[in-house]
Amino acid sequence: MGLSGLEIYKLLPKTNCKECGFPTCLAFAMQIAAKKVSLDKCPHVSEEAKKKLESASRPPINLVTIGSGDEKLEIGNETVMFRHEETFYHPAGIGFLVDDDMPQAEIDKKISSIEALRFERVGQRIEVNLIALNNKSRNKDNFLSALEKITEKSKLNLVLMSDSVETLKAAISVAKEKKPLLHGANKENLDPMVSLAKESSSALCISSSSLEDLSALAEKAASGGINDLVLDPGVKSLREMIESLTYIRRMALRKSYRPFGYPTIAFTRQSDPFEEAGEAASLIAKYAGIVILRNTETWQALAVLTCRQNIYTDPQKPLQVEPQIYEIGSVTGESPVLVTTNFSLTYYTVESEVEAGKVPSYIISVDSEGMSVLTAWAAEKFTAEKIASALKESGIENKVKHKEVIIPGYVSVMSGKLQEESGWSVKVGPREASGIPAFLKGMKK
List residues binding another protein (CB under 8 A). Answer: 82-84, 116, 119, 121-122, 211-212, 215, 237-239, 242-243, 246-247, 250-251, 254-255, 273-275, 277-278, 281-282, 285-286, 297-300, 302-304, 306-307, 309-311, 313, 315, 345, 348-349, 352-353, 355-356, 432, 434, 437-438
Full DSSP string of 202-251:
-EEEEE-SSHHHHHHHHHHHHHTT---EEEE--S--HHHHHHHHHHHHHH
Q: In sequence order, which residues have a C-beta less than 8 Å from that of residue 421 and are 6 or more positions away?
A: 384, 385, 387, 388
Distance CA 195, CA 193 (A): 5
- Considering beta carbons, is residue 116 or 174 the nearer one to another protein? 116
What is the closest distance, in whole angstroms, from the C-beta atom of residue 22 to another protein in the complex?
39
Cis omega (within 30 of 0) on the bond before 289?
no
- Considering beta carbons, is residue 146 or 321 the nearer one to another protein? 321
Distance CA 145, CA 167 (A): 12
- Considering beta carbons, is residue 416 or 442 the nearer one to another protein? 442
Q: In sequence order, which residues have a C-beta less than 8 Å from that of residue 391 and are 6 or more positions away?
A: 339, 364, 397, 405, 422, 424
What is the closest distance, in whole angstroms, from the C-beta atom of residue 175 to another protein in the complex?
29
What is the closest distance, in whole angstroms, from the C-beta atom of residue 300 to another protein in the complex?
6
What is the closest distance, in whole angstroms, from the C-beta atom of residue 399 to another protein in the complex?
24
Helical pair 238-254 and 211-223, crossing angle rounded to 10 deg: 50
Burial 344-358 (b: 16+ CB within 10 A, else e): bbbbbbbbebbeebe
- Considering beta carbons, is residue 315 or 395 the nearer one to another protein? 315
What is the closest distance, in whole angstroms, from the C-beta atom of residue 301 to another protein in the complex?
9
- Considering beta carbons, is residue 243 or 369 the nearer one to another protein? 243
Please say whether the beta carbons of 164 and 74 come within 8 A.
no
Tallying the residues shown for the chain, one arrives at: 445
- Considering beta carbons, is residue 268 or 422 the nearer one to another protein? 268
What is the closest distance, in whole angstroms, from the C-beta atom of residue 435 to another protein in the complex?
9
What is the closest distance, in whole angstroms, from the C-beta atom of residue 133 to another protein in the complex?
25
User: Which long-range contacts does 247-251 make (Cβ < 8 Å, 24+ apart)?
Assistant: 247/211, 248/211, 248/214, 248/287, 249/61, 249/78, 249/81, 249/287, 250/81
- Considering beta carbons, is residue 52 or 410 the nearer one to another protein? 410
What is the closest distance, in whole angstroms, from the C-beta atom of residue 239 to another protein in the complex?
5
What is the closest distance, in whole angstroms, from the C-beta atom of residue 315 to another protein in the complex?
6
What is the closest distance, in whole angstroms, from the C-beta atom of residue 57 to another protein in the complex?
23
Sequence letter at residue 61: I
- Considering beta carbons, is residue 50 or 269 the nearer one to another protein? 269
- Considering beta carbons, is residue 49 or 443 the nearer one to another protein? 443
Distance CA 288, CA 167 (A): 27
Among 313, 315, 325, 336, residue whose Cα is nearest residue 402: 336
- Considering beta carbons, is residue 343 or 424 the nearer one to another protein? 343
Q: Using CB atoms within 10 Å of the CB of residue 11, give its burial: 0 to 12 exposed, 13 to 18 middle, 19+ buried.
A: buried
Q: Using CB atoms within 10 Å of the CB of residue 271, give its burial: 0 to 12 exposed, 13 to 18 middle, 19+ buried.
A: exposed
What is the closest distance, in whole angstroms, from the C-beta atom of residue 217 to another protein in the complex?
12
What is the closest distance, in whole angstroms, from the C-beta atom of residue 108 to another protein in the complex?
20
- Considering beta carbons, is residue 203 or 304 the nearer one to another protein? 304
- Considering beta carbons, is residue 163 or 243 the nearer one to another protein? 243
Question: Terminus-to-terminus CA distance in the chain, angstroms?
Answer: 64
Burial 30-45 (b: 16+ CB within 10 A, else e): bbbbeeebebeebeeb
Task: Give Cα separations from 197 to 68, 69, 232, 282 (angstroms).
Answer: 16, 20, 16, 30
Please say whether the beta carbons of 98 and 146 come within 8 A.
yes
